[in-house]
Structure 1
Amino acid sequence: MIQTVPIGSVANAAVERLLDRAFGRDRHLRTAYRLRAGTHAIPALSFALVEDGNVLGSIQCWPVRLDGDDGVVHPLVLVGPVAIVPERQQEGLGRRLMEAALAAAADGPPLVLIGDPEYYGRFFGFDAAATAAWRLPGPVERHRLLARGAGVPDGAGVLGPRATASAAA
């Protein structure tokens, strides 16, 4: 039976191996890694899927912020990576992880992710409507920078790490 557990209950090394398998060892070069540099995943919003002691998948959520060009700082939560072992992809496990994270984040700040707009829009309500003028610390395909939630900032600014955050923020 597959169990959804807090990510802190599984070995960090097992999560790192999973991420390497799912995204490759060069994954640290991606813009999403720059967005969360110097932060720690939010424990209450990060989960793993475990079956018979094996980690099948994980989702992590990170404290980030948009420093608006108008001087307003907007706390946000970066969702991802969502990783599933390659041999179990297409079984709905990623969706199960997203649903767990979204339920846990329901009362928190708006969410942002870099991902497929058709998938994340259709199933989870993410879109790029407010993110067109956001600047990131690396390249991104603009249509893949997605957000959702009440209060998504709709203006220009720099998206980057938020060094301090409570589990709910």
Structure 2
Amino acid sequence: MVELLPLSDIEPQAVEALLDAAFGTDRFGRTAYRIREGVDAVPALSFAAVEDGALIGTIQCWPVAHRAADGTATPLVMVGPVAVRPDVQRGGHGRALMAHMLEVAEAQADGALMMIGDPEYYGRFFGFGADGTGEWDLPGPFERRRLLARAINGHDLPRGAGMIGPR
């Protein structure tokens, strides 16, 4: 049986090992890491999937912001990475982690959600889309169609041009 636990209950080294296995040790150069540089994950929205005492998946959420040219900063929550141990991928663990995080975010998120991800998957199953992100910019290379967002908990997407970065 898989348990969903607060990520803070898991040893940080185990989380890092899982992320290395899922995404490779070169993951730190990705744009997603630049966006959340220098901030800690949001504990209330970050979870682990554990089966028989072993970590098999994680989801982390990060406090970021949309900064407009006029200096206005709108809080956002960056979702990801969603990581599942390679030998148990395609077992629904990532989907369970996302669904659980969204359920909690409906009550606790302090900003709309954003992520870099597969629009077909995250749009179909979780309501994320690129419609409101067309003028957003990131501190590194990205595919515009993969910059996704979703309003949640009464928080709408920021409109217009802006840079996404740590709060």
Q: TM-score, normalised by structure 2?
A: 0.95
Question: How does 1:8-157 map onto structure 2 within 5 Å?
Answer: 8-107=8-107, 108=109, 109-149=111-151, 150-157=155-162
Question: How many residue pairs align between the two structures?
Answer: 162
Q: 1:159 aligns with which of 128, 148, 164?
A: 164
Residues of 2 paired with 1:55 and 1:25: CA distance? 18
Residues of 2 paired with 1:73 and 1:154: CA distance? 11
Deviation at 1:138, TM superposition (A): 0.4
Q: TM-score, normalised by structure 1?
A: 0.94
Deviation at 1:50, TM superposition (A): 0.5
Residues of 1 paired with 2:131 and 2:69: CA distance? 18
**Cα deviation per residue 1:63-100 (whole Å; 9 max; x = unaligned)?**
00000124321100000000000011111100000011
Percent identity (aligned): 57
SS of the residue 1:105 aligns to:
helix
SS of the residue 2:165 aligns to:
strand
- What CA RMSD, in Å, does the superposition of the two structures yield over aligned residues? 0.8
Deviation at 1:148, TM superposition (A): 0.2
Residues of 1 paired with 2:162 and 2:69: CA distance? 5
Residues of 2 paired with 1:19 and 1:158: CA distance? 26
Deviation at 1:126, TM superposition (A): 0.3
Unaligned runs of 5+ in 2: none
Deviation at 1:153, TM superposition (A): 1.0
Residues of 2 paired with 1:154 and 1:127: CA distance? 14
Unaligned runs of 5+ in 1: 163-169
Residues of 2 paired with 1:90 and 1:45: CA distance? 22
Which one is further off, 100-109 or 43-52? Answer: 100-109
Deviation at 1:134, TM superposition (A): 0.8
Which one is further off, 27-36 or 63-72? Answer: 63-72
Residues of 2 paired with 1:99 and 1:2: CA distance? 14
Residues of 1 paired with 2:71 and 2:36: CA distance? 21
